[in-house]
């Protein structure tokens, strides 16, 4: 995962979301991920047990996260604690902090070793 491009990484995310719906079955939110050093934005919309990924800003986000590519990869791999990243300025959050915490809890249920 650490050697993948952002685009390749999102393909893996989509595959894992399709493969395992249980972690987000009850989640109702739109998350926006801005990869600051690449100036790329992706969104994941969770609704009625389904997840849809968009490139760009398509929907109004409940929670928007902004970080550098390396930090985004570390977050997905579980190598970056989101609270510490936020406190140190590596992660910027706009919107619902509760939704950000729900996202972190959900991410921990996915197996990043598959990638």
What domains are there in the chain, each with its CATH number? 6-108 (3.30.1050.10)
Q: What is the pLDDT of residues 79-104, one digit of tens each?
A: 888 888 999 999 999 998 888 888 87
Q: Residue 3 — φ and ψ, nearest 5°? A: -95, 0
The share of the chain scoring above pLDDT 70, in percent, equals 95
For the cut 60, the answer to whether the pLDDT of residue 115 exceeds it is: no
pLDDT bin (cut points 50, 70, 90) of residue 43 is: very high
Predicted local confidence at residue 80, as pLDDT = 85
Distance of CA 59 to the CA centre of its chain: 15
* Model pLDDT, residue 50: 95
């Amino acid at each position: 995962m650490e050697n993948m491009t952002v685009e390749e990484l999102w393909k893996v995310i989509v595959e894992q979301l399709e493969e395992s719906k249980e972690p987000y079955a009850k989640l109702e939110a739109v998350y926006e991920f801005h990869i600051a050093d690449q100036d790329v934005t992706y969104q994941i919309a969770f609704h009625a047990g389904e997840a849809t990924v968009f490139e760009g800003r398509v929907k109004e986000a409940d929670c928007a996260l902004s970080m550098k590519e390396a930090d985004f990869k570390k977050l997905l791999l579980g190598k970056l604690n989101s609270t510490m990243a936020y406190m140190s300025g590596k992660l910027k959050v706009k919107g619902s902090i509760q939704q950000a915490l729900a996202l972190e809890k959900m991410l921990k249920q996915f197996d990043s070793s598959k990638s």
